[in-house]
Amino acid sequence: MHEIIPAYFVVYSFLGWLIEGTYHLKAQKRLINRGFFQGPYCPIYGTSAVLMVLLLEPYRDNILLLFLGGFFIASAVELITGILLERIFEAKWWDYSKRAINIGGYVCVKFSIYWGFLTVLLIHIIHPPVEQLLHEAPLSILRPITLIVGVLFLTDAVYTLKSLVKFRKIFIDLSNISSEIKKNVTVIDTEKVQNHLLAKLKERNKDLRRLQETIKKEITLRQQKWLRNYPGLKSKRFNNIIQELKEKAKETINNKSNHSQGK
C-alpha cells in the first residue's frame, strides 16, 4: 500500500490541475495553467486526495461521513496552505473574504461543500479504477515512472520556491523605492529646501523611477502568470505594489497580443 501512495499523489495532483483548469475556463472564459508550479499538477489536490483515501476509504458506506470528512480535511489543507504562504511571502494568494461564512478569507463554506461532494465522488467513482490500475501495474514499471515524475516535481518545487522568494524581494525593493520617492517628494513640497539639495532630490527621484522600471522588467513570465491567474492576490504590506505589477503584466500581455495580431 505504501508503495502506491506516491503514485496516488501524482495522479490526483494531475486530476486536480484539470479540475482547476476546467473551473477557471468556465469562470474566466480562458484556459489557464492554474497553480504555482510550471507542470500540470496541483499538490493541494494530491495531498487532500491522499488523506481522504487513507482516512475515509474505510467508511465508504457512510455517505454523510465521507462528505463531512472531505469537507473538513480539504478545508484544513487549504487553510494551512493559505496561512503558510501568507506568513512566509507576506501575500494572500486567494481571498474568499467576500464569500459567505469564511475563515480569514482562506476557506469558505461554498468551496468546502464542493470538496465534500468531490470526496464522495472520489471514494465511490474515481478512486476504485485508479486503485485497480495502479495495483495491477507491474512495480518494475510503476516505480521508475513514479520516481521520474517525483524528481520532476521536486525540481519544479525548488524552482518555484526560488521564484517566489525572488518575487517577494521584488515587492520589498519596489516598496522601499516607492517609500523613498514619497519621502523626497514631501521634502521637496515643503519649499524650504536649498536649491542645491532640491536639485539632488529631484535627480535622485529620477534615478529611483528608472530603477523601478528596470525591476518591473525583470519580472519573469511565471511571475506574470501568477499576477494574472491569482486576481485575489493581495498583501497588507505590498498591496499598492502588487496592483501596479498587475497592471504592468496586463499591459505587457496586451502589447504582445496586439503585436501578434499585427503580424
**Where along the chain do its domains lie?**
5-137, 156-262
Q: Do 13 and 50 touch, CB atoms closer than 8 A?
A: no
Q: Considering the chain, what is the average pLDDT of its residues?
A: 87
Among 1-5, 112-116, 182-186, 257-261, name the one with the lowest average pLDDT.
Answer: 257-261
Per-residue confidence band for 58, with pLDDT thresholds at 50, 70 and 90: very high
Higher pLDDT, 139 or 253: 139
The answer to whether residue 256 scores a pLDDT higher than 70 is no
Secondary structure of the chain in HEC code, one letter for each residue: CCCCHHHHHHHHHHHHHHHHHHHHHHHHCCCCCCCCCCCCCCHHHHHHHHHHHHHHHHHCCCHHHHHHHHHHHHHHHHHHHHHHHHHHHCCECCCCCCCCCEECCCEEHHHHHHHHHHHHHHHHHHHHHHHHHHHHCCHHHHHHHHHHHHHHHHHHHHHHHHHHHHHHHHHHHHHHHHHHHHHHHHHHHCCCCCHHHHHHHHHHHHHHHHHHHHHHHCCCHHHHHHHHHCCCCECCCCHHHHHHHHHHHHHHHHHHHHHHHHC
CB hemisphere CA count around 255 (13 angstroms): 6
The answer to whether residue 191 scores a pLDDT higher than 80 is no
The answer to whether residue 169 scores a pLDDT higher than 60 is yes
Per-residue confidence band for 61, with pLDDT thresholds at 50, 70 and 90: very high
Tens digits of residue pLDDT in 106-132: 999 999 999 999 999 999 999 999 999
The answer to whether residue 173 scores a pLDDT higher than 90 is yes
Among 61-70, 105-114, 122-131, 242-251, name the one with the lowest average pLDDT.
Answer: 242-251
pLDDT of residue 123: 96
Higher pLDDT, 12 or 232: 12
The answer to whether residue 1 scores a pLDDT higher than 80 is no
The answer to whether residue 258 scores a pLDDT higher than 70 is no
For residues 165-188, average pLDDT: 90
Per-residue confidence band for 184, with pLDDT thresholds at 50, 70 and 90: confident
Higher pLDDT, 139 or 178: 178
Per-residue confidence band for 193, with pLDDT thresholds at 50, 70 and 90: low
pLDDT of residue 166: 92
Higher pLDDT, 29 or 52: 52
For residues 82-86, average pLDDT: 92
Q: In the chain, pLDDT over 70 holds for what percent of residues?
A: 90
Higher pLDDT, 216 or 25: 216
Q: Say how far apart CA 19 and CA 195 lie, in whole Å.
A: 62
